[in-house]
Structures are given as C-alpha cells and as structure tokens.
Amino acid sequence: MSAATRDDLIRRPHPRLSPFVGDYVAYDVSGVPAGTHLGLPSGTLTFIVSIDEPLHQYDAATESTESFDVLLAGLHLRPTLIRHNGAMAGIQINFTPFAPRILFDTPAVDLAHRTHDLAEISRPVAAELHERVNEATTWSARFDAIDEVLVRAVHEGTQPRPEVVSSWKQIARSHGGLPVSLVANRIGWSRRHLNGVFRAEFGIGPKEAARVMRFDRARRMISAQSRTLADIAATCGYADQSHLNRDFRLLTGTSPSLWLTQDPVVRQDRDRWSLDR
C-alpha cells in the first residue's frame, strides 16, 4: 500500500452512525520484526476489518491461535495478544457499547470479555464488509464502503434504559473522572442498583468502565510522549505516578516504558504520529 498521512487514515463515520460509532482508524504496519502486539482495554468495543491477511489472536492459556477476517471484541479488562509476521493492515471501527444493539440486535454484555468472528453474529454484514474493503484500492474508498454497509445495517432494536445510557455517557465524557456515586445520584438510582443494571447491559460495572476510560486516556498520552508520567497521572485523575504504573500493569501486564519500547507496532505508530485524539 502507498504511504498515507494521518488525516488519510482517520475518518469520522457517516452522520447517521455517529451517535453510536466512533472514528474509523486505518493501520498499515510493515517492516517491523515479527512478534506479538497487545490489544489493550478501552471504553470502546473493537471492530476490525482485516486487509489481505486475517488478524491472528493468540490465547496463551490454550496456546492456540484464532484467525479473523472481521472481528468484534467486547469490552474487556485484560489485553489480547495479536500475532503478526511483521506486517498487518486493516481498519479499526471504534464502537460505543450501544452499537451492537442498533446494528446486530445484540447487547454489549453478550460480547464482553471475548473476541467474536462477526460472521457468527451477522454473516451477510461480515462478508460484504470484508469483500468491499479488500476490493477497494484507497483508504477513502474503504471508509466509504464501511459507511454504506453499516448505514444499511441500522435498525430500531431494543434499546437499553435511558438511565443506563446517561450513566455511560457521563463516565465517558469525564474520561472516567466522575465518582460512580455521583453518576448514580444524577440518574436517581442507588449505586448498587446502577452497578447491577449497568453490568447486565455492558458486561462490566461502572467502576470498571471508569477505570478503563481513565487508562485509555493515559495510554494515548503516554504514546504521544509529550508529557511526563507524573503529569499524565495528575491530568488523568490518578493519585500519583505509582498509581498510574500499578493500574497500567494490571490492565496490560507490562509497564508504560516496556509497552513503548518492546512492542514494535506501538513504536512504529509513535514514530509516525500521535493518535492522542
């Protein structure tokens, strides 16, 4: 593939999708040593359409590898391991946890803590996405194809309770900075009731959602390398740098410095541009 600028590789979705679908981020990794890339927890569901080669996810517990042309990973609190031979390409579509209901009539809880082959959830959408994205020859055309397929998939399905939607959006807007007790008070529920209904919808509780959103913001700043870890910790709401380091290790299995230096995919992305959007 030809070289592309940062603006070429990122696009907002069609306006009809924007209330529940985040940006599209293309990646084209090449020329790095073969190895394992960490897919990190975040406040979005990861939806990836691979280009040319499938994406290969390794399960260390079973020592097995599963390959995906189009994958949808639910909210999770542990890293996923992506094996590559030094090159991989595709488009990541960042889903809010409301998108699976609207596009596939599937609540986010049914997808949580696992990676799914989209063909098992919606075979026609998976097949068309993969075919059209791989037939297109420019990033712009690939993004257009995703817009067209997903807009047609939108339907009026069962929606989560408004209080649950509001609580998620409050946590997301604050990057995990709002206390869960305050979120519960704002929607008129007890903290215990919010935790139960929230977990039943998304597969993680509000405190866990706040934690991964805070982490994801910090991770982007760490990747940009424009601030010290102490400054990032203060900006993102950690008690101190040690707190940031502990949380980072719990969610990734490694430290910020090792993550930056030992994952060649992260290094290449960092050297090209910052994705701290």
What are the tens digits of pLDDT across the range 206-215? 999 999 999 9
Q: What's the CA gap between 197 and 265, in Å, rounded? A: 37
Sheet-wide strand order for 55-59 = 35-39, 80-84, 55-59, 64-68
pTM reported for the whole predicted model: 0.89
At residue 244, the 3 state secondary structure works out as: helix
105-153: pLDDT as tens digits: 999 999 999 999 999 999 999 999 999 999 999 999 999 999 999 999 9
Domain 6-153 CATH class label: mainly beta
Q: What's the CA gap between 56 and 36, in Å, rounded? A: 10
Fold exhibited by the domain 162-274: Arc Repressor Mutant, subunit A (1.10.10)
Q: Would you list the domain boundaries of the chain?
A: 6-153, 162-274
Q: What is the DSSP string of 18-77?
A: TTTEEEEEEEEE-SS-SEEEEE---SSEEEEEEESSPEEEEETTTTEEEEESEEEE---S
Output the pLDDT for position 277.
33
Same fold, 6-153 and 162-274: no
